[in-house]
Amino acid sequence: MEVITTVSEMRQKVRAARFAAKWVGLVPTMGALHEGHGSLIQRAVSECDTVIVSIFVNPTQFGPNEDLARYPRTLDADIRYCEKLGAHWIFAPSVEEMYPQEQLAWVNVEKVTEGLCGARRPGHFRGVATVCAKLFNIIQPDVAYFGQKDAQQAVVIQTMVRDLNFPLEIRVCPTVRDKDGLALSSRNQYLSKAERKKALCLSKALQKCRELIQSGQTNPDEIRRAVLPFFDQPEVFLEYFELVDPQTLRPLAEIRGPVLAAAAARVGTTRLIDNLLIDLQTPSA
Ligand code: PAF
């Protein structure tokens, strides 16, 4: 498996693959790979002829007080992991390679970026959409894989691809959890043992939310009231717990169909997100 670090070489490799009529899959990541990424890579390997994993800690999606500097960088281990899973190339450019001069063109996706994380991380989704647009233009994949764990990100990218006619398909794959329910995230590495236990507030609250909806509760305010105690712990700060339409991400006044329950909380200094797609037609969603 080859690691490619320049845009020109990446373009050349992909051109050759596409000329040979290969179906090209991209798994965009910021590295520090875990089994959540692993499930995306495995799916890509099972569905595509050529699988590229991009590893790039994208500075433009971090706010000034966020964790860009301490974000885990584990390239050697990531390369071994991708190789084991059967990916073909890693695209791991430097910041200078991706942003060689001041970036003047940006992708702004409206409305679906206004709530949830978008409201708390100004500019975050502009950075995500722009870097994904760059990756899609460099690699020109037929399909790109994203995790449901970052539900808002997946909707933002799907909207960008739809509205700007990018010629690729977006596949969103289920969240991978530890045995106790904690959603896998590269940021879990920041948690101490005690914080990791507290972090279960997110998955437990979402679980409770699902139970309430399954037992007939349709009032989002009542559900929010019922889950708040999970976050009532020292050093846990709830940013949001919201029940939104899975496609528009607008808050629901009443639950009548599929709902995305999405939460973000800080545990110590670590910001974590999680969500559940709840559809009574398919209770295992
Ligand atoms: O989900 C991530 O790891 C990042 O937001 C992404 C999609 C790779 C863009 O930098």
Kindly list the structural domains of the chain, giving each domain's residue range(s) and its CATH number in brackets, ordered by start: 2-173 (3.40.50.620), 186-277 (3.30.1300.10)
Is the shortest distance between the CB of 58 and ligand 1 below 6 Å? yes
How far apart CA 205 and CA 210 sit, in angstroms, is 9
Closest residue by Cα to atom 2, ligand 1, is 29
Tokens 């169909």: give the residue. Answer: 257
Which pLDDT score is estimated for 282? 66
CA 111 to chain centre: 18
Cβ atoms 79, 99 nearer than 8 A: no
Which pLDDT score is estimated for 284? 52
Is the shortest distance between the CB of 33 and ligand 1 below 6 Å? no
Which pLDDT score is estimated for 280? 84
Q: Residue 36 C-alpha to ligand 1 middle, in angstroms? A: 13
Question: Could you tell me the two tokens for 129?
Answer: 């959409």
Q: Residue 144 C-alpha to ligand 1 middle, in angstroms? A: 12
Let me know if 113 is exposed, middle or buried by CB neighbors in 10 A (0-12, 13-18, 19+). buried
Is the shortest distance between the CB of 30 and ligand 1 below 6 Å? yes
- Secondary structure letter of residue 254 according to DSSP: S
For a ligand 1 pocket test, name from 27, 29, 34 the mutation site with the most ligand atoms within 8 angstroms of its C-beta: 29
Q: Residue 125 C-alpha to ligand 1 middle, in angstroms? A: 10
CA angle 208-122-242, nearest 5°?
Answer: 15
- Secondary structure letter of residue 72 according to DSSP: -
How far apart CA 163 and CA 157 sit, in angstroms, is 10
Is the shortest distance between the CB of 220 and ligand 1 below 6 Å? no
Q: Residue 54 C-alpha to ligand 1 middle, in angstroms? A: 9
Tokens 């991380």: give the residue. Answer: 121
Q: Residue 149 C-alpha to ligand 1 middle, in angstroms? A: 11
For residue 58, which atom of ligand 1 is closest to its CA?
10
For the chain, how long is the longest CA-to-CA vector?
57
Residues designated as active site: 37
Question: Residue 246 half-sphere exposure, CB side, CA atoms within 13 Å?
Answer: 15
Q: Going residue by residue through the chain (285 aa), what tens digit of pLDDT does each one get?
A: 999 999 999 999 999 998 898 899 999 999 999 999 999 999 999 999 999 999 999 999 999 999 999 999 999 999 999 999 999 999 999 999 999 999 999 999 999 999 999 999 999 999 999 999 999 999 999 999 999 999 999 999 999 999 999 999 999 999 999 999 999 999 999 999 999 999 999 999 999 999 999 999 999 999 999 999 999 999 999 999 999 999 999 999 999 999 999 999 999 999 999 999 999 876 554
Alpha helix ranges (H) inside the chain: 7-19, 35-47, 75-85, 95-98, 116-120, 124-139, 151-163, 193-198, 200-214, 220-227
Question: Could you tell me the two tokens for 168?
Answer: 């690729």
How far apart CA 143 and CA 140 sit, in angstroms, is 9
Which pLDDT score is estimated for 285? 46
Give the DSSP H/E element, type plus range, for residue 147. Answer: strand 143-147
Closest residue by Cα to atom 6, ligand 1, is 29
Q: Supply the Cα-derived Rg of the chain in whole angstroms.
A: 19
